[in-house]
Structures are given as structure tokens and as C-alpha cells.
Amino acid sequence: MADFRNIMQVLKECGTSRVVKHMEPERYLQSVGAAKELYQNKDEESLKRQKLVFHTPRPVTTENNGVPHFSFGVPEERPHYKFMAHSKKALEDLQLKSDSSLINICQGSDVYIDESREIFPYSLAYAGFQFGEFAGQLGDGRVLNLFDIKDKESKLQTVQLKGSGLTPYSRFADGKAVVRSSIREFLICESLHAIGIPSSRALQISSLPKTRARRSVFEPCAVITRFAPSWIRIGNFDLFRWKQDDEGLLKLADFSINHVFEGLKDYRDTVALNSFSANYFEGTSDTVNNKELRSSKVDDGLTNYDKLFRHIVTLNAECVAYWQAYGFCNGVLNTDNTSILGLSIDFGPFGFMDKFQPQYTPNHDDYNLRYSFANQPTVIWWNLIKLAEALVIPLGVGPSLIDKLPTTNRGEWKDPEIEKISKRATAIINLTGLEYEFRFTTKYADLMAKRLGYDLNIPATLTDDNLKSVAEKVTAFTTDIIEPILRILTVSGVDYNSFFLALQNYDGNFLDEGGINGVDDGLYRVFFNEEQTKKINDYYIGQEQDDSGETRKLIEEAEVLSNWSKDYKQLISDYPERVKIAKQFNPLFIPRNYILESVANHYTDEQRNELNDPDAKLDNGPLQKLILMATNPYDKSAWDSSFLPELEKKWTNVTEDEDLLMTQCSCSS
């Protein structure tokens, strides 16, 4: 721990607040100095104004009646705070000591302010399309961004509190987060990151004794500390589009280019956008299939706004590819929940898919299955189109008109310019949609191949010259290997993520002339359960069946498995090499919904009195055990087998209780 630092030391060395420095605040408080003065004054009049400015929901405007990017705020004071846990991995990545100063700041009992560094807590303003319908002003309704600090890679991370109280953006809510959902989010952030899925992170969770929130019943509350390189989401752009505030929109776009993406330093500029007009994966999904897209061309070079959009599209395409490969369902993919960094954020009714059922949604309020597993790639593209619609003028001006952009209001463009802007923006959107299809499909196939112990050897850098060969390789692997597997799993219903581990650990010969339909008997037990395997075997040895409908389906899939085994056997290297590849991509543990629920119930049911008693000691054992397992999914030795071994055994054996599998949650948290 010698290299770990006290949070106060870190803040003095590298603390900053990029949003406060570069973006436009709400009209009530125009500077850190003004916010600090209001907060530190404790006379009766100041306290009334604090409640109005910091904790009263309202429509927000700037001093000039424009749209602000943020509002200053402070956490609501709670009667009591009780620390529950840190993420050790998060502490390591931020190089922070777990001490009282960190705990107090990360639960909102202490507020850090530094006028010289322009640090004061704030909430972001944004809007959003929720379940396809525009919802107006939203914003951080129970979140305060505290400051930016550098992690161990010297990358700035924005640290924020969730559940810290009312803000101007709380609307009709109470600014609180309940314990059950806070535990779920704390764990899933760290789990996804540890698996390799792009995600925001969680640093700390604290309960709030004597603080309760009304949901279906009164529930105990908590506050969690999250961090990410930025919390800007598509909804931030939706707000300025709605208000037709072009100046504020441009300032947001410039902030994203210069400060979120650091001058687009990681933008991939090795493939011409026009190269995707070939639509290499036409027909592979419903994302952007449209033959008219082939005529789209951009012939005047790309501006930084074009590159910004293209970069955001690529990051989100690859993030959703991870979700699909690992069977993760976000549950609520509104535009205000879609990060421009391509991160999994704002977790509500999420869940890993226990069985491969493409129509599964973990959100029991999602009656139309808009955010089902199968729809996630399409919905993310829909959200990205909304971003493009917000950025239509910056995307349309091109190099020839870009100099006029900062000084020209939308009503001042001339008709020929409007026509040019519209045509160019349409081409950018269409071509980037085809790139989205390419990036998603390629990343998904690459991840699935590695989970299966095979390296597709996708070039680290895509170029105009290798797009076709990559597409051909991906298409062949998808058709011959991935699709047959998913077809079989849909029928057999074996556990999705456990299947990859079972195949990874299978060391049989795959093909066996003496086996069932020429396939090694052991391989059947990877794809089917024991009862199904017996039915298939009985059919092939001529034993009479009493459920011809089910058996017929199983026999069809047995034929698929026979053909798949031949194709797979031709591709794979020897067993050690296959395992070496697969072990890096197949987690030994994922926090399933019923496991998360059991840990939440350990507090809300078994320790309800202790949660509400500020002096009572909590039993955090199950939470600590789950943190260990979730943050070390590939390394069983890090789970500390001597610590609650009965839970480790229980959680690593997938339940057979159908009532606990494929569960759903409410949006209410």
C-alpha cells in the first residue's frame, strides 16, 4: 500500500473539474466562489436559499435564458452514515487509501471544495428518449459529481455520488437510492469491468441509517460512489437539440472533443468512411439494412465533428458486442443511459441471461421487449441516430462551411447551404451506420471465437485493404460456428455462460464413429442436459419415444451438432492451445440476479434493524465475499476459499430452481 495516497493528497496534486472549468452553469450560481459562499453561510436566509438552489427541482436556464450544462449542488445532510465496503480493485486503480477522509467524502458527509482548482459538486443537465418517447428535461436527479482525479494510468476519472439527495433535476423523485439497488449497481460495475466489458466503476457503498425511501414500501437507503472518464451521455445532446440551443450544443460537442476525448487522440482514422458503403454484413441484422445506403458518399474530408460522431459510434458498437457475447442485458437503454464513451452506465433492471433466450428482458416494465437481449444492437444504433439528429448541423457543414458554424444561427443558413448540410449529414449518418454494423459484427465474432478457444486473428488495425477479407472471415465463422451453437442452446436451454466453460474444459475427440450420430457422447453433455442426451440416445438406438414433439426438436439439433463438430474440429488447435485462449475470456463466475438478490436480502431482510440503527454493527461478510468473486472472475485463487466457503460453493453451482433463473427487476430503485 506504499504507493496508495490519501484522497486529500490526490486532490491537491491533480484534482480538477473539467465540466465546471469549461461548461456553462445554471443562472443561480455562476462560479465556484459564489457556490462556496452560499454553502458556507449558515444564517437563516442563506439556508433558505441553499434549499432553493441546491435541492429544489425546477426547469433550468442560464443567466441569458439559454440551456445550462450543469448546476452546482451539495449532498443533502443525512442523520447518519455507515460505511459498508470499498472495491479493492477500484482503490488500486485510483491508487487511493481506504481511510476516514475517503469514506466521508464518498458518502457525502464531507464536501470537498477548492476554489483555486474550480472544484465544487455539480449535477449534469440532460434530456432523453425513454422507451422511444422524448421525456424532456431529466438530468442528475440523485447524483452529484465531486471532482476529477487521475488514476494509475494518469487518466482523469470523474468521481460522483449516487443517492446523495435532491437536485434541480429530481423532478418528482426524492433523490434517494435504496440499499437493494445500490448493492446491485456497486457489484455489477466492478464485475463487468473485471470481465472485460466496458463499464463505469464503483468505489464505495455506505448505508444511511434512519434514511428511508418510499418505493412499493419504505426501504432503507444507501449512497454509492461511482467513477468514469466522463458521464456525458447522448441525453446531454438531446437537451440542446430540444431547446434549439446551437451555441450550447456546439460548446458541448467541443468539450467532448477536447476534454472527454482529449483532442480525439484515440480516434481511429485508418479506414475511409466511404469504404463502408459496400455494406459487408448486409442481412446479418436489422440494424441498418437499406440498399439506398450504398449511394452515400462523403467527398470533402471529415471535420472533427464527423470524427467525434464516428468515434462515439465505434465505441458503442464494440460495447454492445461485449453485451451480446456475454449475455448481458442492460434493461433500460434510453438515450440518457447511453454513454458517449461506449460504457455500461446507470444500472437499473439489468441481468445476465441464464439461458439463451433472445427475447429475454430483465426489466419487467419493458412490456414491448424494446430493450430485450436481441434488440440491444438495434436500440443502441437508434440512440446514436438521435445523437446524429442533435448534431445534424455540425455533421452537415463539412470543411467548406465549418468556419461559419460558430457564428451562424440555424435560421441564418441560406437555402443552398441548408440543402448541402442536409445531404452531407445524411451521408455521414448512413455511412457511419454501416460502420456500426461492421464494428459490432466483427467485435462480436472476435469475442465469441475467443470464448470458443479460437483466435480469428482480426487485424488490430482495420484498413481499406483488409475490410473485405475480415468480413469474409467473420461471415464464415458466424455462419458455420456461432449460429449453430446459438440454435442448439435456444432449444436445449443449458446455462449460457456455463456452456462456454464446459466446452473449454471438454477434452474429448468431438467426433466418434461409435458415438451418438458420430459425435462423442461427452460432447452431448456440453450442449444438452442429461435428460435430453438420454432422449437423443434412445432415439438413435431405436427405443420408443413418448414425447415425439420434443424429441423431434432434439434430433434436429443433434444433426446440427454433428455438422458443427466437423467444422469446429477443423478450426481448433490442440486442446492446450484452445484452453489457453478460452480461459482469458470465460469467467469462472458472474453475479447472477438471484445471487445479487440474496446479498441484498441479507441486509434488507436479515439486518433490517441493524441497517436502521446507526450504532449497530453490520455483517458485511456476504457482500465482501461477492466483491472478491465478482472482481476476480478469472482467478479462483483470489476468492479466499477459507472465507465463507459455503457461499463460494453455492454461488459457483448454477441453481436448478427455475423460479430463480431469468428473473426480472423493476425500474424503481
Which positions are annotated as active-site residues? 336
DSSP 8-state assignment for residue 23: S
CA within 13 Å, CB half, 660: 14
Q: How far apart are CA 589 and CA 194, in angstroms?
A: 11
Q: How far apart are CA 307 and CA 236, in angstroms?
A: 18
Q: How far apart are CA 581 and CA 306, in angstroms?
A: 37
Distances (CA, A) of 301 to 68, 400, 417: 32, 10, 17
Q: Which of 409, 425, 419, 471 is nearest to 445 (CA)?
A: 471
In the structure grid, which three cell numbers stand for residue 54, read together? 441546491
Q: Which of 201, 80, 181, 207 is nearest to 600 (CA)?
A: 181
Torsion angles phi and psi, residue 291, rounded to 5: -65, -25
In the structure grid, which three cell numbers stand for residue 269, read together? 482514422
CA within 13 Å, CB half, 190: 31
Q: How far apart are CA 520 and CA 77, in angstroms?
A: 65
Residues 6+ apart with CB under 8 A from 138: 126, 127, 128, 169, 171, 235, 336
Q: How far apart are CA 336 and CA 372, in angstroms?
A: 18
Residues 6+ apart with CB under 8 A from 106: 159, 161, 203, 204, 206, 225
Residues 6+ apart with CB under 8 A from 428: 273, 298, 306, 309, 388, 395, 396
Q: How far apart are CA 394 and CA 261, in angstroms?
A: 17
The answer to whether the beta carbons of residues 279 and 437 sit under 8 Å apart is: yes
- Bridge pairing between strands 177-178 and 218-228: antiparallel
Question: Apex CA 45: angle with CA 41 and CA 51, to 5°?
Answer: 80
In the block, cell 446507470 appears at: 346
User: To which H or E segment does residue 160 belong?
Assistant: strand 156-162
Q: How far apart are CA 516 and CA 88, in angstroms?
A: 49
The answer to whether the beta carbons of residues 275 and 431 sit under 8 Å apart is: no
In the structure grid, which three cell numbers stand for residue 28, read together? 443561480
CA within 13 Å, CB half, 181: 21
Torsion angles phi and psi, residue 131, rounded to 5: 55, 35
User: To which H or E segment does residue 594 belong?
Assistant: helix 593-604
Give CA torsion, residues 626, 628, 632, 637, to 10 deg: -120
Displacement of CA 363 from its chain's centroid (Å): 15
Q: How far apart are CA 111 and CA 116, in angstroms?
A: 16
Residues 6+ apart with CB under 8 A from 171: 57, 137, 138, 141
Determine the angle formed by the axes of helices 548-571 and 530-540, rounding to 10 degrees. 100
Q: How far apart are CA 585 and CA 579, in angstroms?
A: 10
Extended strands (E) in 486-570: 511-516, 519
